[in-house]
Structure 1
């Protein structure tokens, strides 16, 4: 069933949205069901001046840390712009780090990102989302991606990401296209956080795949 498109966001609307969000030191995270998470975000084309953009990126980083999470897209705080922040300090468990190729990802702000597969290899692991709290599900993603994006200083960059950083890149860039991780998840793998911690917190997914039938 088709739905009528949402009315376009005007420049005045966008300024009002950003001002409202930035009035909070730690703005609330938008939850699944809000239209902003299902609408492709607007390309960033200088709608915010450098000072406001810098404040927005700092605020997004603060929200990401407070959640806590390893990535946050602007629509997750209600701002329909193609901007995201990423950062992962990794994990202390060597087995988990090795199996998931979870290497640290230094803080990165990406503007107008787009990614392409860096090969044919894929990997499937549990992941969650700050906008869908309380659950995790297995998503198969590209093991490597080439990400093209603009930095906050206006420079265009293309960089390859592998392993867990590539997963974060894909998850956050998908947000900017109105895609939630559940759209790509293996539905039978869906687990409440407490069940996941109790049963499926192993580095890999073999036990969960066998028991849950996905």
Structure 2
């Protein structure tokens, strides 16, 4: 039976600890992990086998957001343990006063800006850091996560398994700024998953090292981009270090009429709407949404979400723009497709040196895939569609072809060349993204054999027939500096797309 006042105070602490842990829905192991303790330690404290320490009490108070109750129970215990002659403890700490073990870092201010440019999301994070610990800091952990379909986890997992996020496409860059000349920061991958990256930003570069010493402050900034086909309509900030001020900005095209809302969650509260409103500012052709909070609790998460209620005039197939129907070629130009007349379309593309340039090749293919996603929103392309790197202004020998069967995987072609073709041919109408206002009757072989490279530099030969033979041959022509008009029978005119809509017929294979 507990009779000692000290034992009763220790038991009171253990009871409050267990109560708040249970209310937060945490196991003992989960709480220990969040606090930075060995998994068995929480169990020992709750079981009265270990007495609480000041460090343990501060961390428990901060993580469980107990409104000072756990801290008060510890003060009562500690005063009895030391007697009245003990040095008084400091007042109840704000959550930001607790720091995860081994860091001592405080984020005095964080500003996160996400900008959507039509083909990609560009993220810039700027953090003002203070080293309140006792050891120099030489690296800083950051995370990049994507979730294309946040309301459908299964679909999102499949999507990212088939189209994993790569370090090459992030174009990650980081800088350290202490008030002088900004210093580039090297970085090193920690975890590499299909939809999740953890990255160490290093306080060093080729010129030297610049640790953040105790008592010093510094601002770091890092930026990256993710294609729209991998980024879902959300932007989340998680509070993993004590943070004084957090602000988030979304910069979206006003013509898309974005609607933005936000949710927040923490260990002490279920998911609910943001306590502070998101404020919209219109600036020229941009809709800017700002949100901020002070002293966010540790482990809180704030998520901004949005949807676009309209599409840009040039993206609406056949839709009016200011009362005038946009030309098909103008809509393609608006998506960044190089148009007929550009010198690049008449120049042979550059071959990849694989596997040495595999990273560059993957980046180019990612951009081609992103372009196909945008094109599918603009036009049905029931016959399939392809795009060559030169059509995006990239002088590389790469193309991606989506088959007529939408369930089939796109075909990636690196350094392709036709090595054999069937003598049997037919004529079908073709269109080209680089002059989409016309269609032309083009003779093609019914089968072609294409030698193309793999990521590791190996080469293989693939046979394509009928519709796929036509689509692939069209893209290889682009990579060799040719357009389909070069293959048309002399004297056969191009057909304006308006006329073709009335007379054109589907491919028959």
Tell me the TM-score normalized by structure 2. Answer: 0.31
Segments of 4+ in structure 1 off by > 3 A?
Answer: 22-27, 46-52
Deviation at 1:78, TM superposition (A): 0.7
**8 Å CA contact 2:354, 2:457 repeated in 1:** no
Q: 1:73 is matched with which residue? A: 388
User: How many Å separate the matches in 2 of 1:145 and 1:30?
Assistant: 27
- Give the structure with higher Rg (CA): 2
State the aligned residue count. 172
On the 8 A contact 1:147/1:158 being kept in 2, the answer is: yes
Q: Is the 8 A contact 2:467 2:507 kept in 1?
A: no
Question: What displacement does 1:152 show?
Answer: 2.9
**SS in structure 2 of the partner of residue 31 of structure 1:** coil
Structure 2 CA distance for aligned equivalents of residues 155 and 40 of structure 1? 22
Q: Could you tell me how far apart the structure 1 residues matched to 2:464 and 2:493 are?
A: 26
Give the deviation of 1:118 after TM superposition: 3.0
State whether residues 111 and 151 of structure 1, in contact with CA within 8 Å, keep that contact through their aligned partners in structure 2. yes
User: Which residue in the other structure is 2:341 paired with?
Assistant: 33
Report deviation, 1:55: 2.7
Q: Tell me: CA distance 1:172–1:23, structure 2 relative to 1, closer, same or farther (3 Å).
A: farther
Whether the 8 Å CA contact 1:117–1:142 is kept in 2: the answer is: no
Aligned twin of 1:185: 488
Deviation digits for residues 23-56 of structure 1 (CA, Å, limit 9, x no counterpart):
7958611001111100111111159744443232
Corresponding residue number in structure 2 for 1:195: 499
Q: 1:45 aligns with which of 346, 353, 369?
A: 353
Aligned partner of 1:131 in structure 2 is 434
Instruction: Indicate yes or no: 2:450 matched with 1:147.
Output: yes
**Bigger helix share:** 1
Quote how far apart the aligned CAs of 1:106 are.
Answer: 2.8
The structure with more strand, counted as a fraction of residues:
2
Report the CA distance shift for 1:31/1:137 in structure 2 as closer, same or farther (over 3 A): same
Q: Tell whether 2:466 aligns with 1:163.
A: yes
Consecutive unaligned residues of structure 1, counting only runs of 5 or more, are 1-18, 92-103, 205-214
CA distance in 1: counterparts of 2:493 and 2:341, whole angstroms = 21
Q: Are the aligned partners of 2:354 and 2:455 in contact in 1 as well (CA < 8 Å)?
A: no
Relative distance call for 1:66 and 1:184 in structure 2 (3 A) is same
Separation in 1 of the partners of 2:451 and 2:485? 24
Greater relative CO (CA pairs within 8 A, separation 6+): 1
Structure 2 residue 364 is the aligned partner of structure 1 residue 61: no
| Cα displacement (A) at 1:66 | 1.7
Q: Deviations over 1:133-174 (max 9, x none)?
A: 111000001110000001234331101111010001110001
CA RMSD of aligned residues (A): 2.7
Secondary structure at the counterpart of residue 416 of structure 2: strand
Q: TM-score, normalised by structure 1?
A: 0.71
Please, which of 100, 106, 112 is the counterpart of residue 409 of structure 2?
106
Sort the Cα spacing of 1:160 and 1:56 in 2 relative to 1 into closer, same or farther, 3 A: same
* SS of corresponding position for 2:361: helix
